[in-house]
Chains A and B, each alone.
Chain A
Amino acid sequence: MKRQLALIGYALGALSRRRGRSAAVTAGLALVVGLFGSVLFLGDALRAEVEAGARYLPDLSVQRLVAGRPALVPTDVVGAVRGIPGVRSVNARVWGYLYVPPISANITILGATGREATLHAAMVAGRSLRAGERGACVLGAALAEAIGVEPGDEVSLSSDVGGSDATVHWLRIVGVFHDASALRTADVLITSDADARNLLGVDAGLATDLAVSLTTPDEARVASEKIALLVAGARIVDKQLLRRTYALTLDGRGGLLSAMLLPALAALLLLAWDRLTGLSEAERREIGVLKAIGWEVSEVLTARLWESLLVALGGATLGVLGAYAYVFLAQAPGLAGALYGWSALYPPLRLTPQVDAAQALALIVGVALPFVAVGLVPAWRAATLDPDHALRGGA
């Protein structure tokens, strides 16, 4: 142990003597690891966002299409759908978008039918909606901030019916809620089912979609087939399929980006090989002195390996930390577009830090190991130099 510490001490000294070269190689490694790490971290964060979103999705969402366009679903099928074996519950949801002129934006109106009323989100202020409470609403934190309201205030919303039927509805704000992912709740206004119907112009007996919860996801295929027979023009979205599609898309894009970065890693290793094989005159003399004062081949070899390892670990760690800062503090400018696709998101997606420890470690080891391996042959060549030749300056 003491011997190894001494060798590490020597290796650090040697690195500090060749400060310029060490810094350049470390920076190169940090850059490559940083690029790889950014892709991995961004992919992980996006996957976590998808998972967090999917947790609140119903097992099956039953929508209806008429002439290829979304249409309302008649709620008289709810009883029949509930009777399908394996169906735990059916929730006829009323939701939709409402344009609010003062903030020049669409907000999402959601009719509360029970369990989803609080969206499992934390209330920032006020309380959540009571069952069947009329004339009241809870808002997403971002929306409340945009209109500049707080619990106790009232908002007036013009219903979406249009023409002379348009009426103004007053809703008292009873609470403001917040979720770890702003994407899901930023522009949401939850009110009672009846108020949502009035605002959106959805008649009784119709719903935007049916949220079907199953006792076991294995039954999704059979239940979907049965629902398709009950609801004319049904389009059934299976949560498992949706998750798999997202995972495949993100993995595919992340993999493509990583593959594009491989040449950068190869180039760096080649450069490192080139740098490490050519011993400078000073290094040759140094090794000559060490051998002359009695260092063994194994000791010189170990010291050289420690040098590579220190540079590799230092560079890789710097890279991982840099990638973390780039993705989660700076929100990955430039790279994000490649993974998100091309559509701009509203509201801006704030990524929640999400790091797979095993992946970060694998990245560090995956770059550090080849780097150390590349240094092995030059280290052996240096360690077996004849001290007499080395000191005299011969080969």
Chain B
Amino acid sequence: MNARRRFLTLSLCSFFLNVLLATVLALSSGCGGKPRVRCERCGMFLDANPRWAAGAVAAGGRDVHFDAPRCLFAWLQSTAGIGAEGPWVTEYYTQHKRPAAFVWYVVGADLTGPMGPDFVPIGDEVGAERFRGEHNARAVLRYDAIDAAALTRLDAH
């Protein structure tokens, strides 16, 4: 009887240890520190691919972030983007924040952003033209030329 009780206790202990271990393992793999920033438009995490990040200040004065220029443009053209100020993008070569209106955008390049084909922001026109040649891109656009049709055409190829 004594041996059986010992076996029972031992087995129960190991079982609960097992459950505890599984819980700890599951928790340890999913925990993080500070809250992660999500794209305002598509909800993807920005830190997964920060090289394409963009942003703006919404009409209410709130800072909004985007994981890719195409999300920024789609948002600016939606009702949510009405009255937004100071849109910025990450310049491709320098990886610095630049005002969205003062860079050139290359479309149809051989590289893809987090959301697939994207507008690649290049700081100057000469650089944009060179990039277009080196990355087999289709065209170079200015900020004002990016409308709903340009967004639709991104995925055309």
CB-based contact A361/B25 at 8 Å: yes
The 8 closest A-B pairs by CB, nearest first: A357-B25, A357-B29, A16-B7, A215-B95, A218-B111, A222-B134, A12-B11, A85-B93
Return the chain B residue nearest A218 by Cβ.
Answer: B111
B51 touching A313, Cβ below 8 Å: no
B144 to chain A, nearest CB (A): 25
B26 engages A215 (CB within 8 Å)? no
A12 touches B29 (CB 8 A): no
The listed residue (A215, A314, A357) touching B28 by CB distance below 8 A is A357
Rounded to whole Å, the gap between the CB of B61 and the closest CB of chain A is 31
Give the residue name and chain of the A residue nearest to B51 (CB): A216
Residues of A within 8 A of B51 (CB): 216, 218
The size of the chain B interface, using a CB distance under 8 A, is: 25
**Contact indicator B29/A85 (Cβ below 8 Å):** no
* Given A215-B93, A222-B134, A314-B18: A12 touches B25 (CB 8 Å cut-off): no
B23-58 toward A: CB 8 Å interface, digit per residue (1/0)? 001101100000000000000000000010000000
Contact B22 A364 (CB under 8 A): yes
In the bound complex, residues from chain A placing their C-beta under 8 Å from that of B21 are 317
Question: Can you list 17 A-B contacts with CB-CB less than 8 angstroms, sorted by A residue number?
Answer: A13-B8, A16-B8, A16-B11, A85-B130, A85-B131, A216-B51, A216-B92, A222-B134, A222-B135, A310-B15, A314-B11, A314-B15, A314-B18, A357-B29, A361-B22, A361-B26, A364-B22
Shortest distance in angstroms between A11's beta carbon and chain B's nearest beta carbon?
Answer: 9
**Chain B residues near A15 (CB, 8 Å)?**
11
Q: Would you call A252 an interface residue if the criterion is a C-beta within 8 Å of the partner chain's C-beta atoms?
A: no
Q: A: which residues have CB within 8 A of B?
A: 8-9, 12-13, 15-16, 19, 85-86, 215-216, 218-219, 222, 310, 313-314, 317, 356-358, 360-361, 364
What chain A residues lie within 8 Å of B127 (beta carbons)? 85
Q: Is B12 interfacial (CB 8 A cutoff)? A: yes
Give chain B's interface residues, CB within 8 Å of chain A: 4, 7-8, 11-12, 14-15, 18, 21-22, 25-26, 28-29, 51, 92-95, 111, 127, 130-131, 134-135
Assess the B18–A219 pair: CB atoms within 8 A. Answer: no
Q: How far is the CA of A328 from the CA of B131 in the complex (A)?
A: 48
Query: Is A16 in contact with B15, judged by CB distance below 8 angstroms?
Result: no
Question: Roughly how many angstroms separate A317 CA and B18 CA in the complex, as a whole number?
Answer: 7
Distance in angstroms from A189 CB to nearest chain B CB is: 35
- B94 pairs with A314, CB closer than 8 A: no
| Residues from chain A with Cβ under 8 Å of B18 in the complex | 313-314, 317
Instruction: Say how far B121's CB is from chain A's closest CB, in angstroms.
Output: 12
Given A12-B11, A15-B11, A314-B15, verify A215-B29 contact (CB < 8 Å): no
When the two chains form the complex, which single residue of B4, B26, B28, B93 contacts A86, counting CB atoms closer than 8 Å?
B93
> Measured between alpha carbons, how far is A313 from B15 in the docked complex, in Å?
8
A8 to B92, CA, bound (A): 61
**Inter-chain contacts of B131 with A (CB < 8 A):** 85
The smallest beta-carbon distance between B120 and chain A, in angstroms, is: 9
Q: Which residues of B contact A357 (CB under 8 A)?
A: 25-26, 28-29
Minimal beta-carbon separation of A355 from chain B (angstroms)? 8
Given contacts A86-B93, A317-B18, is CB(A9)–CB(B8) below 8 Å? yes
Residue pair B95, A358 in contact (C-beta under 8 Å): no
With the chains together, A284 CA to B18 CA distance in Å? 31
A358 touches B15 (CB 8 A): no
Determine the distance from Cα of A19 to Cα of B8 in the docked complex, in whole angstroms: 12
CB of A110, distance to nearest CB on chain B (Å) = 28
Q: Give complex CA distance A16, B7 in Å.
A: 7
Q: Which residues of B contact A361 (CB under 8 A)?
A: 22, 25-26
Which B residue's beta carbon lies closest to that of A84?
A: B93
Q: Which residue of B lies closest to A226 (CB)?
A: B134
Q: A12-B7, A12-B11, A314-B15 are in contact. Are A360 and B95 (CB under 8 A)?
A: no
When chains A and B are docked, how far (Å) is the Cα of A327 from the Cα of B35?
A: 35
Closest CB of chain A to B113's CB: distance in Å?
9
B11 touches A310 (CB 8 A): yes
Chain B residues with CB under 8 A of A215: 93-95
Which A residues lie within 8 Å of B95 (CB)? 215-216
